[in-house]
Amino acid sequence: MTALTRTAPVTRRRFGWAKLAAYAILVALAVVYLAPMAMLIITSFKTLPEFTRDAISLPKSFSIDNFVEAWNKASFPRYLLNTVIYTAASTAIFVVTGTFLSIAIARRFVRGSGFLFTMFLIALFLPPALIPQFQLILRLGLYNNPIGYVMLFLVNPIGIVILVNYIRTIPTELDEAAAIEGCSYFRFVIQIVIPLIKPAIATVAVLHAIGVWNELILATIYLTKADYYPITRGLIVFNGIYGNNWPVLAAAVLMIAVPIAAFFILMQRYIIGGVTAGAVKG
Amino acid sequence: MRYLFGNGASRLAPYLLITPGLFLYALFALGPSLATVVFSFTDASGLPKLPINWVGFDNYKEFLTLGAAARENLDALVRTLIFSVGVTVIQFSLGLFVAILLNQGLRGTKFFRTLFFFPVILGVTIQGLMWTLFLYPIGGPLATVLDWFGLQSEFLGGQPREAFIWVMVVQIWANMGITMVIFLAGLQTIPDEIYEAARIDGADRGQLFRRITWPLLTPSVNTNLALTIIGSLQAWQLFYVLISYRPGTQVLGYVVYATAFGQTSGSTAGTTFRQGYGAAAGVILFLIVLAIGITTQYLLRRREARLLG
């Protein structure tokens, strides 16, 4: 007891300095992370002359003119709707087909399950599918076609790996109990397994949706008609036209970033859970 | 495991349910991925009417040995390695350091974690445009700050080397959050009791890290190294958004895209789509990723065996 009381103040004081240093480093890094975001927000409320005079100072008045202008001139509603459609359609199809696939693979209900799982595991290392994929879509006559574009996002190997690993944590006694009750395979999958793996499905759906939502390159390759542009492509084109009018451009970027931020804060648990899934196990 | 849901026709139920997913994977991912190798031996273009001919190793020969373009390609290859090493070393160390700081039970941990991870989900378009504004050379925010100290820079519009370094900065800024959360998850699996015991034995901070944290973090170290190395070797999209195809800055991934989809030297339309040639460049990049990936995996396994027995 005496030994503890003697050493305690010393450790506490040393810890105090360490704590201060830790905070100093974290705050410095936070500045680096916040600065570009803060500048985007500040700029979006400024007039162009204000921005040119002093890029850093706060705006004189918080006018929403830039937002109105960006919304009207950038065909925002249309691009946003396109993005929502592409994201929803491809995520729905991937999640449904991917879940059925993962259950059978995780439980080894089909021959060659181990081999199939390996096929998904190595996908990360394989050569990029970009060029043959383009030839395929071209020959299917689906180039510059929203359906062809959605087809590019119907598979996601990492999602399968996350699902399979999660399903494996569910005890197999459950399968036996269901089988004894005379449950059919379809009912087993839909009414028993899927409700149990909802968190993993949510994680995979969210990760996949973010990927489709943010896609720029494939939209640049496959969609040349402005009516089909997703919001990412729309922003880049808008940037080409409004390259020097930073206040309006910043307003446009911000209007896309804010919904993503809101979504992130709501879904943070699933997103970070998905990123770290399997990582700790190695 | 044994199938429990009946025999005969009902034995086919799982096969039926996996068919759509498997079909999509084969058609849109695995098939095209492997077909890249086949295409690399042809003169395929991006036009549907033109016939495709076998050209053997011509694309590879041209890519690696023919004239000025080949020299540029080799420069791009070296640049890819520089980019990858730089990004990996900094992102890995920073991610580990920040994760350790955020694992001390400090107040505000959640805020910092959210902030540092946030850029990850913004995607290259917003990441890129945000930094293009921040680094706007004519009176932009960072330019103004530099001006206070009498300094100036053209940032992304400057010399190729300077622009390249700024892309690296944005790449690390955008992806450090991934490394950080993976390390955080790893750190949380290390029981406090081990640290307590070591502290009672008189271990100092450095020893705690070297003897406990670092070895027990091996699985996260392996995952992070693999993800960051492969990711940075294949990365090029921020180059596209931040500086587009500029001589002296391209990395291999961008060369693949630009040659296959005709976006070299800033022009966006009308140029040739050399898809066979682009596929050869893609295979070369793949081989580099594979070689580096296998080597690191081998080294990491050996290290793991030594550390964890």
The stretches in chain B having pLDDT less than 50 are: 265-270
Cα separation, A77 vs A99, whole angstroms = 32
Give pLDDT, residue B139: 82
Is residue A16 predicted with pLDDT exceeding 90? no
Question: Domains of chain B (ranges plus CATH)?
Answer: 8-38 (no CATH), 58-308 (1.10.3720.10)
Average pLDDT over residues A99-112: 94
Cα separation, A78 vs A70, whole angstroms = 13
Give pLDDT, residue A132: 93
> Given an 8 Å threshold on Cβ–Cβ distance, is B125 in contact with A236?
yes
Identify all chain B residues contacting A55, using CB atoms and an 8 Å cutoff. Answer: 136, 139-141, 143-144
Is residue A8 predicted with pLDDT exceeding 50? no
Query: Chain A closest CA to B296's CA: distance in Å?
Result: 13
Give pLDDT, residue A279: 55
Identify all chain A residues contacting B18, using CB atoms and an 8 Å cutoff. Answer: 100-101, 104-105, 110
- Confidence at A278, pLDDT banded by 50, 70, 90: low
Nearest to B257 among A25, A217, A265 (CB): A217
Average pLDDT over residues A152-181: 91
Give pLDDT, residue B30: 93
Nearest to B24 among A139, A154, A185 (CB): A154
Give pLDDT, residue B269: 45
Is residue A4 predicted with pLDDT exceeding 60? no
Give pLDDT, residue A91: 97
Interface of A with B in 137-176 (CB under 8 A): 138-139, 151-152, 154-155, 157, 160, 172, 175-176
Radius of gyration of chain B (CA): 24
> Given an 8 Å threshold on Cβ–Cβ distance, is B123 in contact with A213?
yes
Q: Please tell me which residue, A15 or B41, carries the higher pLDDT value.
A: B41
Give pLDDT, residue A15: 58
What DSSP letter does each residue of chain B carry, written as one string? ----S-SGGGGGHHHHHHHHHHHHHIIIIIHHHHHHHHHTTB--BS-SSS---B-TTHHHHHHHHSHHHHHHHHHHHHHHHHHHHHHHHHHHHHHHHHHHHTTS--TTHHHHHHHHHHHHHHHHHHHHHHHHHHT-TTT-HHHHHHHHTT----GGGS-HHHHHHHHHHHHHHHHHHHHHHHHHHHHTTS-HHHHHHHHHTT--HHHHIIIIIHHHTHHHHHHHHHHHHHHHHH--HHHHHHT-S-TTT--HHHHHHHHHTT-GGG--SSS--BHHHHHHHHHHHHHHHHHHHHHHHHHHHHHHHHHH-
Identify all chain A residues contacting B98, using CB atoms and an 8 Å cutoff. Answer: 26, 29
Identify all chain A residues contacting B260, using CB atoms and an 8 Å cutoff. Answer: 130-131, 134
Question: A interface mutation test: which of B1, B2, B12, B18 has the most A CBs within 10 A?
Answer: B18
Average pLDDT over residues A78-82: 94
Give pLDDT, residue B244: 87
Give pLDDT, residue A225: 92
Interface of A with B in 211-250 (CB under 8 A): 213-217, 221, 232, 235-236, 239, 246, 249-250
> Given an 8 Å threshold on Cβ–Cβ distance, is B20 in contact with A26?
no
Give pLDDT, residue B264: 53
Q: What is the pLDDT of residues B239-269, one digit of tens each?
A: 999 998 888 899 999 999 998 887 654 444 4
